Amino acid sequence: MLSTAFTETFGVRHPIVQGGMQWVGRAELVAPVADAGALGMITALTQPTPEDLAKEIARTRELTDQPFGVNLTILPSITPPPYDEYRRVIIDSGIKIVETAGSNPAPHLPDFHAAGIKVLHKCTSVRHAVKAQDAGVDGISIDGFECAGHPGEDDVPGLVLIAAAAEQITIPMIASGGFGDGRGLVAALALGADGINMGTRFMCTAESPIHQNIKEAIVAANETDTELIFRTLRNTARVASNTVSREVVEILNRGGQFPDVQELVAGSRGRLVYENGDPDAGIWTVGTVQGLIHDIPTAGELVERIVAEAEALISERLAGMMSRVNARLA
């Protein structure tokens, strides 16, 4: 078993997190991830109301007795969701782990910490990670440029970003973006992280609540089959390359503005992708790691495989290298 500062602080068996994903982080995925010893995350804003979130937390508890968390992504908006109400539901439901993302978590920390909740904050840059650490979060999730969704605007890939963050972060830190197997887990640990966060890889599991066609599309795709939309608007998002995303890129590259693509990128269209299985129905997020995804295992099989691969790499390949070095030096 791989014990790290993350597993010890957050109380899970394996240093693997199923990240919060819109429309995907539901009980039917979160529970088997938790049962496997990793950290599953319900996505709060997938639930249309705080009351629905309370029901989803209860539904997850019916399916597992293992620890799981809730992702609360906080984004500036003209008509924002009732974040305070979602936070209250999380607290009242007895959740002990929260993943925050999208904005400064500081306003939420006093209430979460008063309730004994540990907060893992997702960042896309070292400066934001340091700011979150200074604000008092309990852990950092650092998101490299390879990730699905919003990678920030610095374009720093994980190989550099994780190591740079490890030089300044003293609390538990997990690495996100581009992870899908045991090789990635070992690499993250070597770079200074205490575990990995996976979104796209968990999308492509048997229990993931998305259409089978989309899972098969991920398996068939390679690492270059994504698009970076909203680059000119300084709100970059990595999504699947399809007829819609390519049209969005073309419009914005010609000088278009958000109103010119608003209908194309509507969240309701993206949700239909997952529900109906048409990969060209709208915008949907996926990471470059899809090039490393070749099957659709159960969540439990996936976690077990990644841990076994990582342990074998550490004990056999890396230890074998050291033995050969020591033999040459003897």
CATH architecture for the domain at 5-198? Alpha-Beta Barrel (3.20)
Residue found under tokens 């270059």: 224
φ, ψ for residue 258, nearest 5 deg: -55, -45
185 contacts: CB under 8 Å, gap ≥ 6? 2, 15, 16, 179, 195, 196, 306, 307, 309, 310
Residue found under tokens 């190989």: 159
List per-residue pLDDT tens for the chain, 330 residues long. 899 999 999 999 999 999 999 999 999 999 999 999 999 999 999 999 999 999 999 999 999 999 999 999 998 777 899 999 999 999 999 999 999 999 999 999 999 999 999 999 999 999 999 999 999 999 999 999 999 999 999 999 999 999 999 999 999 999 999 999 999 999 999 999 999 999 999 999 999 999 999 999 999 999 999 999 999 999 999 999 999 999 999 999 999 999 999 999 999 999 999 999 999 999 999 999 999 999 999 999 999 999 999 999 998 877 776 665 566 666
pLDDT tens, 75-93?
877 789 999 999 999 999 9
Q: Give the span between the Cα atoms of 311 and 180, in whole angstroms.
A: 15
pLDDT tens, 119-170?
999 999 999 999 999 999 999 999 999 999 999 999 999 999 999 999 999 9
The rounded Cα 36 to chain-centroid distance in angstroms is 17
φ, ψ for residue 70, nearest 5 deg: -130, 130
* Residues paired with residue 174 on neighbouring β-strands, in sequence order: 141
User: What per-residue string of b and e applies to 108-144 under the rule 16 or more CB within 10 Å gives b?
Assistant: bbeebeebebbbbbbbbbbebbebbbeeebbbbbbbb
Q: Which of 144, 93, 136 is nearest to 118 (CA)?
A: 136
Q: Which of 15, 26, 75, 32 is nearest to 197 (CA)?
A: 15
Cβ contact 41:71 at 8 Å: yes
User: Could you give the C-alpha distances from 293 to 73, 186, 203, 290, in angstroms and in order?
Assistant: 26, 17, 10, 5
Instruction: Please state whether beta strands 226-229 and 237-240 pair in parallel, antiparallel, or not at all (unpaired).
Output: antiparallel
Q: Give the span between the Cα atoms of 62 and 59, in whole angstroms.
A: 5
Dihedral sign for Cα 160, 162, 167, 168, please. Answer: positive
Maximum Cα interatomic distance, the chain, rounded to a whole number of Å:
69
Q: Which amino acid is at 71?
A: N
CA angle 29, 180, 191 (to 5 degrees): 125
- pLDDT, position 325: 59
How far apart are the two ends of the chain, measured CA to CA in Å?
31
Domain ranges of the chain: 5-198, 212-289
